[in-house]
Structure 1
């Protein structure tokens, strides 16, 4: 019996590296979100607004490119789409700095900002890999009052993007 256990342990030890190399890798669970002014997921993570799973992974709001939802189409984070949830509104001027906190540095095609479904700003990174933070100065033009800003980080080498909504008071 002892010989069988030793043989099984040896076979297992020999096969383990092969399995690690040949099994498909899982997707990373960390990427990025708008940390300032605080996005809805940043508010969840900070406990400002009670939320579900997003509290533990604010950087994970990922979905196919081209969506216009705060949740990135991810049903686990659907509460980010709920405008009546009591999100804190940040006062900003006619321009505001949006700071992304990144936990995985993907090659980036563009960063886009929308208000009411209309694009108000776009920054083209041409495939560059950002640092741990990225800040954009967004000009709101003639917009004023309470607005929901949808920020989108379009990854260059996948079909996905990261989504973050921030509630602001412009003016």
Structure 2
């Protein structure tokens, strides 16, 4: 009888910790960390933002969106081009580094400028490592540019979105 009470008490004590661990991994995903995306700038306090400051990896929406917030109204401030985003100075070749906190099987990563796709990188339907870098050629684009980076997930109909402000040239 004493063993049963200890077993039940242990289970009750561990349940809240298990719920926190599972909920934490379910809400975490990925974003462009370098050059700093808009959500990375929020997390680093470079620009004042709302809740995305605390969860830059969570800018998720249905695949096919072409907005910085991926259609997620909770992160609408990412679409505001007048917010004072810092543009990183780069040449015509840029290395984008994604940081993942939950690594989903990946269809591909896409990069857009002004609605035109400038690069696509296959994910081979595989789970990526904790960080992934892609070199993207931006030849033909100069001056201030906003790059929309999209991580298309293979195991759901969703994608993760990040806009990166650059000064190309």
Q: Which is higher, the Rg of structure 1 or of structure 2?
A: 1
Q: For 1:121-132, list aligned pairs within 5 A.
A: 121-132=119-130
Number of aligned pairs? 157
TM-score (norm 2): 0.86
TM-score (norm 1): 0.85
Question: What is the Cα deviation at residue 107 of structure 1?
Answer: 0.3
| Aligned-partner SS, 2:103 | coil
Deviations 1:29-81 (A, max 9, x none): 10000000000000000000001100000000000000000001111100000
Question: What is the Cα deviation at residue 125 of structure 1?
Answer: 1.4
Tell me if 1:165 matches 2:163. yes
| Aligned-partner SS, 1:34 | strand
Question: What is the Cα deviation at residue 126 of structure 1?
Answer: 1.6
For 1:98 and 1:123, the matched residues in 2 are separated by: 12
Residue 19 of structure 2 corresponds to none
Deviations 1:122-149 (A, max 9, x none): 0011201100100000001211110000
Deviations 1:87-113 (A, max 9, x none): 001011011000001101100000000
Residue 112 of structure 2 corresponds to 114
Q: Provide the aligned C-alpha RMSD in A.
A: 2.2
For 1:110 and 1:103, the matched residues in 2 are separated by: 17
Which residue of 65, 74, 85 corresponds with 1:76? 74
4+ residue runs over 6 A deviation: none
